Amino acid sequence: MQKISMLGNANFTVNEMFEIYIKKCIIKNLSDQTIKGYKVNYNVFERFIGDTTLINTINSNTIDNFILYLRENNKCNNITINSYLRSIRAFLYFCMEGGYLDRFTIHIPKVDKKIKPTYTDTELRLLLKKPDLKNCDFKEYQMWVFSNYLLATGNRISSVLNIKIKDLDFNNCLIHVNKMKNRRSQIIPMSRTLSNILQEYLIIRKGKPDDYVFCTVTGEKASIRSYQDALAYYNHSRGVVKTSAHLYRHTFAKNWILNGGDIFRLQKMLGHSDLTVVKEYVNMFSNELSIDFDKFNPLDNLGINQQKKHIKIRGGQV
């Protein structure tokens, strides 16, 4: 295996190797959010092994002990542990590819997937009831529009806050989403209801094509935290305890599946590169697929073999 030329044959500490790894991540143009996550997870790993540990001393036993450390000292659940392991595995595999660490496999333990929380129909009716424009303030109206947008598209909040007015194509009912988690842009359909809501909003909001659709009070790009806080205040004012913007994404996926939408289009709408996560949604909400099953099942719809209370056959009655 060819070594990283800039390192030569020196023996580096884990800390030094991680700094080089982060530089490589920046060169590969990984998102700031991804790099920040790597750093946060590495800090926990560093506290466990110490900042002077040599990279070539790390082995599978180190990882096993790290898992125990997370579980016993940090009281982490299995999902959180897996999140740490994925970050550390990416870093250590980078070191292995450079020849500075003996190869070994880092397994990510399987965990039971919990059903993702969603907004109920009752909560959605409370959140999506249009405010009285004559009496409400602009922030309440804006968060109402924001909530409608999240439910209608399933976009992540980071994607929504990057959408500009020029990205809304009302003539063709399309939205150009240029900021995705996977760094890819995509074009998604805009529902007729959302189109009407956004057009009214832009008449009130005004703005130029290069302005952000959802922005700060001064018209600048808004932070995720500010809109999460605003959404929390809005939801509480409507009597809804749940406050996460990401719950709209889960709710979108759930209702898409329950309404009979195909998983391939759902994958494209959610911006996933494959069907893995979409299949998780299907498995999570499989129990609710049985609701009104007879109503949609073709055998029951045809009504050909509907059984009566008693069936007469030769030799008696069943």
- pLDDT tens for 126-183 read 999 999 999 999 999 999 999 999 999 989 999 999 999 999 999 999 999 986 555 6
In a domain? residue 233: yes
Residues 228, 286, single domain; the answer is: yes
Whether residues 223 and 144 share a domain: the answer is yes
Q: Indicate whether 148 and 280 sit together in one domain.
A: yes
Per the structure, how many domains does the chain have? 2
* Gap between the Cα atoms of 19 and 23, Å rounded: 6
Residues 85, 156 within the same domain: no
Mean per-residue pLDDT over the chain, rounded: 84
More confident residue, 315 or 216: 216
Same domain, 92 and 130: no
For residue 257, being part of any structural domain is answered with yes
- Decide: 137 and 236 in contact? Cβ < 8 Å: no
- Contacts of range 260-267, beta carbons closer than 8 Å, 24 or more positions apart: 260/296
CA distance 264 to 103: 37
Burial bucket for residue 202 (CB in 10 Å: 0-12, 13-18, 19+): middle
Examine residue 2 and state whether it is found in any structural domain, yes or no: no
Q: Is the pTM of this model over 0.75?
A: no
Q: Are residues 144 and 76 in the same domain?
A: no
What digits encode the pLDDT tens for the residues 269-302? 887 766 677 777 777 666 665 555 555 556 555 5
**Coil/strand/helix, residue 300:** helix
Question: Do 86 and 198 belong together in one domain?
Answer: no
**The domain containing residue 20 runs over which residues?**
14-97
| Contact criterion met (CB below 8 Å) for 243 and 249 | no
Whether residue 152 lies inside any domain: the answer is: yes
For residue 186 the two structure tokens come to 């995509």
Say if residue 240 is exposed, middle or buried (CB neighbours under 10 Å; 0-12, 13-18, 19+): middle
Are 33 and 126 part of one and the same domain?
no
Please report which confidence band the pLDDT of residue 11 belongs to, taking 50, 70 and 90 as the band edges: confident
Lookup result for tokens 């660490």:
101
Residues 53 and 148 in one domain: no
Domain assignment of residue 79, yes or no:
yes
Query: Do 185 and 260 belong together in one domain?
Result: yes
CATH number for the domain spanning 49: value is 1.10.150
Q: Is residue 287 part of a domain?
A: yes
